[in-house]
Chain A
């Protein structure tokens, strides 16, 4: 049976809000707390380690093949200075996957092409900058789409919305290249705290982008039918998804400097 829920299209007079708009704002508040927890974790983990340990992973503490010392706490070794550690390790044979020790060594001895790297994410800065521009542009196009609806121009709305989706796909493509190049260099989530945060946070962000694409695609595809029957509600939906899209953009604007630049 049909139930008429009020304030779907018209704002409630005393609050000035439609249901969808308030719902999206509250949802975004909880999203702030979600990403906030990750950013706080970044602060805790970065403050709790030297930059070298944070970015490239602490050097292995207990050396293998010394079974008699297996049950000893060997943290003094871990706490010792990185350069000394690296000298100690020089000459050990590292597998390609053991990027942490690898990087730690090179930071001290400086033989190899990673040596001058400040951060494992350094080489990705151009790609990430490009992606930042892409996302900001998509935020503009989503507003232009909303504005087109307010001007009653459905064709233009379709164009700008389509453009937003295309830009989102460009973002995902660049991200794919970035991830594969990280894997190719032997950088995995398990490599270091920074890389763990990097992969977890950016992948969570990618999931948000994918979620956005699904909703955007629905609204520019089958969802557009509503424009004929109830233009006010449809415009409200576009505004709500626009708010979400801006938030996804905003998260990236925090992720980019924190992960790549700082």
Chain B
């Protein structure tokens, strides 16, 4: 984007790239931050996988470094159970709150939404800058907890009380809570901004039913963030009070810790934490998946050269999904004794919420029917998303019914299910989006060969990692063991799967190298002759047809576009080309 710099105004480097109020720069800031954190979270899980396949053996190459950093917790370069717990908690936190949400909402939302609706910027540019900086502070707080005595939080990404509270000796959990409060605040500011932007700043003629599906997905995600995150902020404040001020919001009466009566007065409710946590964290799952569905919808319509099949039912489904996501949270809590009636309610709502997701996925699959499909890299990732998300969704059904959830809940089955949704699901969609909108950001397409070299191995290794988890889980292997189940006799026959998974994880790491090379090389290479045309994918939405690639600086459009038609008018019969841009008036 550097060559797009001169529009007659000279801004200082700081103003332009660091303290920018331009939604495009902010989107890129989010993207770079999120990609770094994704890689970091992936590194943590590589170490965990090492420990599961080779328990109590020193980590090769970096074992010494770990020992210097974590001292006793990494004695002799071995991942101890303590350290494993820390890594597990931080892997979850970093991937969800510092990786995928900032990438899906912060980066793609910020960069693409104003361009797709024909807005000059987000509604509140300064607030936008504030949210990226609050995100940055939250990230620094989380990251710095690796370097404090006692290490980072180790009570899981769910931070269940009382476990998270009684560990008062080390400050890791306190850092986690403070970091979370910053990250939540950042998301709330962002959510208000997205909602106001989408409601107020649509270009003339951009009616609700002409919005690209991606914008709808961001719109609903923002509502979820706006209304679901505050209860976790409240819960975070209460847990912080429990740790710092000795209150007993989540500490029950008569708690005994390691044979000693716990000092707090008691009277609190550990289950209350779970309710408040999952009241956020279930809608959060939809925040992770909806932008991914939006990206996949854009790419499938564009590369099958057909309108989305059932656009309206997709929109109504996503609205219904957003509403339902607020009343399913306790299906994460069947193991607490909440009673048959309450669990019947949550089982019912959970079964209902699968309907709109199935409608959306079905509509996307039918959209492919009879299309002239272009198998470029973004399309490959988008196509792979469909069955992967399908596996993730279908394996979720047994977890939504308490009878089958109770035996499966603490096993690897849950990990396999969840990761099928977010890793080959959401993350594949994120990759698809990066390949798809890269020419928008730089004016240059990423290399197709390297892209395919990235896609095919990633696809194989993702399944190599997560499918064995489902098998192990059904066999009953607990999901919290640092030694991968070695301790238990019954898991003997499936232990070799740990090696498969660990090798696959390493393969997945290697498969990201072509992506990193491609990413960096495309940013810095020269624009070739004929590249940088406005609309390299022959798309219909106005971010391609009415704005330059890369877009001009602050302001986006030379002329504010007027919208005349729905978002995906591909292959309109009688038209001379196979796409009709939204901003093209009827020829009459």
Contact = CB atoms under 8 A, between A and B. Distances in A.
B241 A34 contact: no
Given A23-B192, A31-B230, A3 B125 contact: yes
Contacts of A34: 230-231, 233-234
Nearest to B233: A34
A94 B303 CA distance: 76
Q: Which residue, of A22, A30, A191, A192, has the highest number of chain B Cβ atoms within 10 A?
A: A30
Contacts, number: 166
A22 B200 contact: yes
B267 interface: yes
B199 A15 contact: yes
A203 B285 CA distance: 32
Interface in B2-20: 7-9, 11
B121 to A, nearest CB: 5
Given A30-B229, A73-B254, A54 B247 contact: no
B234 A189 contact: no
A22 B196 contact: yes
Given A70-B261, A73-B254, A190-B248, A37 B7 contact: no
Given A6-B201, A7-B200, A30-B188, A62 B261 contact: yes
A76 to B, nearest CB: 9
Contacts of A100: 265
Interface string B218-259: 000000001111110111011001000111110001101001
Nearest to A7: B200
Contacts of B328: none
A17 B200 CA distance: 8
Nearest to A76: B254
Q: How large is the interface on A (under 10, 10 to 19, 20 to 34, 35 or more residues)?
A: 35 or more
A70 B257 CA distance: 10
A15 B256 contact: no
B201 A45 contact: no
A19 B125 CA distance: 12
A151 interface: no
Q: Which residue, of B123, B196, B233, B268, has the highest number of chain A Cβ atoms within 10 A?
A: B196
A36 interface: yes
A200 B247 contact: yes
B312 interface: no
Contact of B249 (A5, A49, A196): A196
B384 interface: no
Contacts of B555: 1, 3
Given A19-B200, A71-B256, A192-B267, A37 B261 contact: no
Nearest to B229: A30
A74 B253 CA distance: 10
A39 to B, nearest CB: 10
Contact of B235 (A37, A192, A204): A37
B196 A57 contact: no
A226 interface: no
Contact of B199 (A22, A38, A188): A22
Interface of A: 1, 3-7, 12, 15, 17, 19, 22-23, 26-27, 29-31, 33-38, 40-41, 44-45, 48-49, 53-54, 57-58, 60-62, 70-75, 77-78, 100, 188-193, 196-197, 199-200, 204
26 contacts: A1-B9, A3-B554, A22-B200, A30-B229, A33-B228, A37-B234, A37-B276, A40-B231, A41-B238, A58-B265, A58-B266, A62-B256, A62-B261, A70-B260, A74-B261, A75-B253, A78-B266, A100-B265, A189-B241, A190-B248, A191-B265, A193-B248, A193-B249, A196-B245, A197-B249, A199-B245
